[in-house]
Structure 1
Amino acid sequence: MCACYSGGMFVKITTSGGRRYIQLVESFRDENGRVKKRTVATLGRLDQLQGELHTVIQGLQKVSGIEPSVSDGPLSLSFESARAVGDLWALTELWQELGFDRLRQVFRRTRFKLDIEALLRIMVFNRLCDPESKLGVLRWLEGVSFPKLPLEAIDHQHLLRAMDALIEHREAVDDAVSGLLRPLLDQDLAVVFYDMTTIRAEGLSQHADDVRQFGMAKEGIVARQFMLGVVQTADGIPLYHEVFDGNTAEVTTLKPTIEKIVQRFPIKRVIAIADRGLLSTDNLTELQSITLPSGQPLEFILAVPGRRYADFVELLTPFQSDCCEPAMVEITGEVQWQGLRLIVAHNPETARDKGAQRDRTIADLERKAVEWSGKLDEQDAGKRSRGRKLSDGGARARFYHEVKEAHLAHIIKVDLKSELFSYSIDESALTHARLMDGKLLLATNTPELKPEQAIKRYKSLADIERGFRVLKSEIEIGPVYHRLPDRIRAHAQICFLALILYRVMRQRLHASQSGLSPERALSLLKRIQHHRATLPSSQTIEGLSSITDEQARILTAMGIAKPTKNEQLTLL
């Protein structure tokens, strides 16, 4: 058999003058059939080509028509910092599914040559993912990849201009959002929940029509603030919000707010359910005078504040005797009061626990009082003891402080005028407190709701209070550092839109029994990251991190498809 040789090209390293060179060598046969070699080209010195060999190889592959492969030899890659994308992907899909991207049409004729909807989307998503100041939004954008965002670069002024445009088109935005919310609502929308909260505001400057006013905050202190009223459905979907001056009385805000809700949504009947802040004799008179555009009176369910319970002792005493049955089950009933139904719910177990806790606290305070009185008597008798000397004034001040901390000053009366340390127990106040333990009092003008139904309706109000906690914690609506009233209103609007997305996510996660809160779901999705690397040839490789089973379940629960590496991502 004959072995045939066809020749070929190969790379050879040669040494000359103490240096090593890379040469491209051809092997061939001469006319006599003998194998010969000749140097086709010297590629350069080996020590100078160490970092460029792969580029040379890729160049030769390109010339020869061979597709370069990332596995051909070692690569010197340049990696950029990973950017979070999973949480923004989910929010973007939800934003578009709900139709909020259609807000772009509202801002078509704005005086600013900016994509207001895209800038608004950035600020809303930031409240849910990593709430920051408007300057902080720019820092946040450096670490995320934004899906489907038609922007190349933004600055602080762009965000402020977007806020200005939001307020200039406030009515149109509210109408558009109302239209987008209608598909999420029950056809028979009869019950709305209304509540207000105070939002802290910083700064000492004064402006015309300033909404930042000094008022009593929910924490019980006087602070500069504005008030935020929110209306939501029984299912927890926010319908409307309004910003009021920080010293506004709650009852004056109810009628105009309800009227706006009725104008925007197909509501034939409204049962307003609000917290204890709206109940006073004057407020009740004003509430009963409210008539809806349909001509129907406003119906309401209001809780009686604890400070008013003393007004109902005579009405509740007969009911108390009925509540002490051995069965110890929750009992409901009603009596008439000022032309209204006064619905009473009594939970014996709650009453027993609360009463026992109060008795233990009173006993602990009395033990301290006896101890301090004994020490004072011993000091008066000339007996010395370890520690600092105790005075009547010091004992009185310490005891009064602890009584106040325990919220028992209406029962334990400390004599602040006496020179000697003394106190007494107001037995009638204690009896009254025990009478009110475990009770919920509701005033309502609804004609047909059974007591159990009215109580169930009112207890649903806790959901809107959770919404306020979301606004103040996860969304971090305050403290607010904006000075201008319209900027404050724009900030509240952005937080309100974030609350809508939060509530829709919460609804879907709950329906799927995932057991996750929206903030936990977003934090897990944030781990889906966008990666980008640059090859020595300046070729860019991009991709997404692998999606775990848990992340896939979250996306499925929210009705959102998985992101793919082909999605359009914006790096700002």
Structure 2
Amino acid sequence: MFVKITTSGGRRYLQLVQSYRDDAGRVKKRTVATLGRLDQVGGELDSVISGLLRISGREPMGERPAAPSVAFESARALGDVWALTELWKELGFGALRRVFRRTRHTTDVEALIRVMVLNRLCDPDSKLGVLRWLETVALPEVDVKAITHQQLLRSMDALMAHQAAVDAVVTGLLRPLVDQDLSVVFYDLTTIRAEGLTNVAGDVRAFGMAKEGLIARQFMLGVVQTADGLPIYHEVFAGNAAETTTLLPTLTTVLERFPEVRRLILVADRGLLSLDNLEALEAVRLASGEPLEFIIAVPGRRYHEFAELLGPFQRTHCTQARAEVTGELAWQGLRLIVAHAPATAAVQSTRRNGEIAALIAQGEAWASKLVEQDGGVKHRGRKLSDSGAKARFYHAVCEAHLSKIIRVDLKAELFRYEIDETARRLAELMDGKLLLVTNTKDLAPADVVTRYKALADIERGFKVLKSEIEIGPVYHRLPERIRAHASICFMALILHRIMRARLRAAHTGLTPERALEQLHRIQHHRVRLGAAEPVTGVSSINAHQNEVLSALRVKKPVAPEQLTLL
């Protein structure tokens, strides 16, 4: 049946019509009822419709209910903290919970440490800044509203109070990632700026020469990492500690923590070489009884000690060389590996000769002016004195790092200088050269050089610590808080390097920073419809984000209830 409007005598009527077939099968229509004139149909028709709806089990006609109110809460970043939390648990950092469960702490110390580590990778900030950051992220398995600034500081104290147990957990999760047959480890130090002028007992903050070439209050951070770029140990030293004194204590601890390693090659930079270190390193034995092997660069200030030894090698191999040359010489019962790069040597020699020529021209100009002044000739500007010329010239020579070649006689009454040709020839002899001392017996000279050049990766690790993780400047005053801060940054560096290794293995072309930036866009949403319970959901994951999650071997983030409209 259907409703039909018909016209009769100029008026329009509303009829209920039925379709049917007659005996011959033809379609016929018949009027079942006339509902009245169209211009007079009103509430009577509404009551009929409501009755029909009621009989059919539907809601009767009436006023349409008001649309429920929809409240959208602020979206929170989920993807980056989700991925880092999954990596944290997969690697085994969750075992820290057992360490602190045996203590009297009423808060979840492991969760608070995890919060600070993840903050270092996502949006590094102060401990107060961590609380502001928590308001913008949906951190899994953490009640962020209950976290206070004091709890974060107390968790740092707990980290140091149980440092031995914490170190055991971290070493345990790193041990399966270290090659047990042959491990090449790199050791280097960097300086971390520290703020504040107060002094406390056992203070690690001290004034010293920073890596940037400035004297500043700082502490030193030593890091040991594998050839794969995985950091396995760190230590905090006083800001004025000599680099050579840090090597053996660090090495001893590394050997104690990784006794399963059957062969270990230590690669260290120039500042760590001393005769005492070499003798002590040769006496070190692994748990297997094998001797420690090492590759250490000779510092530039000691190159002159090898001039006589390098003379024949220079004449035989380097003078006519067009490509990089490597060779081997004997020195104090050890192997002295020499690498010579002709292109680098040419650049260094040309630059030095140009600087020397410019300084000589300046010196001759000042000497001529002094002679003319003595003869009564007047010049524009201030009168030049011998002492002033000496001071200015000596400063320019030192700025160019040529004080060993251009020797200014500061004790003479008159302005005098001379060129030390022996020092100049020595500098030219050392141009483009890299000197390495090693006791390895089965590595070819080229392989030794390659191993040493891989040390540059630890410098990149320091760059990550200082830029992405922002380990400094440090505003903590207490030594234990500074060490705790360094431990938190070290854990963040472990996660960063694991991410880097997995992203490289998957050939994504992404850095950990870019990957976290992609995942940061995966958001957690919360919507409330009227007076009903709020509904949560996760924003859609695009192809790029899915690729990052797959490369990191992390499952997709989920919420208790996924919203279809998001």
CA deviations on 1:121-154 (whole Å, 9 max, x unpaired) are 1100111112111111112222222234355421
* Closer/same/farther in 2, CA of residues 388 and 176 from structure 1, 3 Å limit: same
Per-residue deviation, 1:233: 0.8
* Closer/same/farther in 2, CA of residues 290 and 324 from structure 1, 3 Å limit: closer
- From 100, 108, 117, the equivalent of 1:107 is 100
AA matched with 2:43: K
What is the match of residue 473 of structure 2? Answer: 479
Tell me how far apart the structure 2 counterparts of residues 291 and 65 of structure 1 sit (CA, whole Å). Answer: 92
AA matched with 1:529: Q
Deviates more, 1:127-136 or 1:242-251: 242-251
Per-residue deviation, 1:296: 3.2
AA matched with 1:461: L
Q: Is the Cα contact below 8 Å between 2:503 and 2:512 reproduced in 1?
A: yes
What is the match of residue 344 of structure 1? Answer: 338
- From 23, 38, 43, the equivalent of 1:37 is 43
Tell me how far apart the structure 1 counterparts of residues 207 and 228 of structure 2 sit (CA, whole Å). Answer: 34
Q: Is the Cα contact below 8 Å between 1:195 and 1:229 reproduced in 2?
A: yes
What is the match of residue 47 of structure 1? Answer: none
AA matched with 1:209: G
* Closer/same/farther in 2, CA of residues 331 and 39 from structure 1, 3 Å limit: same
Q: Is the Cα contact below 8 Å between 2:179 and 2:261 reproduced in 1?
A: no
Tell me how far apart the structure 2 counterparts of residues 383 and 76 of structure 1 sit (CA, whole Å). Answer: 94
What is the match of residue 459 of structure 1? Answer: 453
CA deviations on 1:543-571 (whole Å, 9 max, x unpaired) are 44444443333333323333345589xxx
Query: Does residue 1:233 correspond to 2:239, yes or no?
Result: no
Query: Does residue 1:324 correspond to 2:318, yes or no?
Result: yes
Counterpart of 1:209 in 2: which secondary structure? coil
* Closer/same/farther in 2, CA of residues 536 and 304 from structure 1, 3 Å limit: same
Per-residue deviation, 1:500: 0.3
Query: Does residue 1:191 correspond to 2:184, yes or no?
Result: yes
Per-residue deviation, 1:370: 4.2
- From 388, 398, 405, the equivalent of 2:399 is 405
Query: Does residue 1:556 correspond to 2:545, yes or no?
Result: no
What is the match of residue 440 of structure 2? Answer: 446
- From 357, 360, 383, the equivalent of 2:354 is 360
1:43-442 to 2 correspondences below 5 Å: 78-265=71-258, 266-324=260-318, 326-373=320-367, 390-442=384-436
Counterpart of 1:443 in 2: which secondary structure? strand
Tell me how far apart the structure 2 counterparts of residues 400 and 526 of structure 1 sit (CA, whole Å). Answer: 55
Tell me how far apart the structure 2 counterparts of residues 182 and 515 of structure 1 sit (CA, whole Å). Answer: 28
Cα RMSD for the two superposed structures: 3.4
Per-residue deviation, 1:382: 6.0
- Number of equivalences: 519
Q: Is the Cα contact below 8 Å between 2:343 and 2:432 reproduced in 1?
A: yes
Deviates more, 1:539-548 or 1:400-409: 539-548
CA deviations on 1:278-303 (whole Å, 9 max, x unpaired) are 21223323333333344333221111
Tell me how far apart the structure 2 counterparts of residues 351 and 186 of structure 1 sit (CA, whole Å). Answer: 37
* Closer/same/farther in 2, CA of residues 287 and 540 from structure 1, 3 Å limit: same
Tell me how far apart the structure 2 counterparts of residues 119 and 129 of structure 1 sit (CA, whole Å). Answer: 15
Where in structure 2 are there 5+ consecutive unaligned residues?
5-13, 17-34, 47-57
Tell me how far apart the structure 1 counterparts of residues 422 and 331 of structure 2 sit (CA, whole Å). Answer: 23
Tell me how far apart the structure 1 counterparts of residues 370 and 535 of structure 2 sit (CA, whole Å). Answer: 81
Per-residue deviation, 1:498: 0.4
Tell me how far apart the structure 2 counterparts of residues 346 and 370 of structure 1 sit (CA, whole Å). Answer: 35
Per-residue deviation, 1:235: 0.7
> Which structure's CA Rg is the greater one?
2
- From 514, 519, 543, the equivalent of 2:513 is 519
CA deviations on 1:93-123 (whole Å, 9 max, x unpaired) are 2222222223222221122111111111110
Q: Is the Cα contact below 8 Å between 2:267 and 2:455 reproduced in 1?
A: yes
Tell me how far apart the structure 2 counterparts of residues 484 and 458 of structure 1 sit (CA, whole Å). Answer: 36
AA matched with 2:206: Q
Tell me how far apart the structure 2 counterparts of residues 396 and 445 of structure 1 sit (CA, whole Å). Answer: 47
Identity %: 62
* Closer/same/farther in 2, CA of residues 2 and 352 from structure 1, 3 Å limit: closer
Counterpart of 2:216 in 1: which secondary structure? strand
Deviates more, 1:558-567 or 1:430-439: 558-567
* Closer/same/farther in 2, CA of residues 190 and 567 from structure 1, 3 Å limit: farther
Q: Is the Cα contact below 8 Å between 2:134 and 2:144 reproduced in 1?
A: no
* Closer/same/farther in 2, CA of residues 373 and 534 from structure 1, 3 Å limit: farther
Per-residue deviation, 1:414: 2.7
Q: Is the Cα contact below 8 Å between 2:247 and 2:272 reproduced in 1?
A: no
Q: Is the Cα contact below 8 Å between 1:251 and 1:283 reproduced in 2?
A: yes
Counterpart of 1:88 in 2: which secondary structure? helix
Tell me how far apart the structure 2 counterparts of residues 280 and 555 of structure 1 sit (CA, whole Å). Answer: 47
What is the match of residue 46 of structure 1? Answer: none
Q: Is the Cα contact below 8 Å between 2:3 and 2:15 reproduced in 1?
A: no
What is the match of residue 501 of structure 1? Answer: 495
Per-residue deviation, 1:457: 1.5
* Closer/same/farther in 2, CA of residues 407 and 552 from structure 1, 3 Å limit: farther
Deviates more, 1:293-302 or 1:378-387: 378-387
Per-residue deviation, 1:465: 2.0
Q: Is the Cα contact below 8 Å between 1:147 and 1:567 reproduced in 2?
A: no
AA matched with 1:409: S
TM-score normalized by structure 1? Answer: 0.81
Counterpart of 2:189 in 1: which secondary structure? strand
- From 463, 468, 486, the equivalent of 1:469 is 463
* Closer/same/farther in 2, CA of residues 64 and 415 from structure 1, 3 Å limit: farther
Tell me how far apart the structure 2 counterparts of residues 175 and 6 of structure 1 sit (CA, whole Å). Answer: 89
Counterpart of 1:146 in 2: which secondary structure? coil
Counterpart of 2:176 in 1: which secondary structure? helix
Tell me how far apart the structure 2 counterparts of residues 480 and 561 of structure 1 sit (CA, whole Å). Answer: 35
CA deviations on 1:444-500 (whole Å, 9 max, x unpaired) are 222332212221211111111221222122211122221222211111110100010
AA matched with 2:293: E
CA deviations on 1:200-237 (whole Å, 9 max, x unpaired) are 22223333332223444334444333222211111111
Counterpart of 2:472 in 1: which secondary structure? coil
Counterpart of 1:343 in 2: which secondary structure? strand
Tell me how far apart the structure 1 counterparts of residues 388 and 137 of structure 2 sit (CA, whole Å). Answer: 58
Deviates more, 1:95-104 or 1:549-558: 549-558
Greater relative contact order, per chain length (Cα 8 Å cut-off, separation 6+): 1
Counterpart of 1:559 in 2: which secondary structure? coil
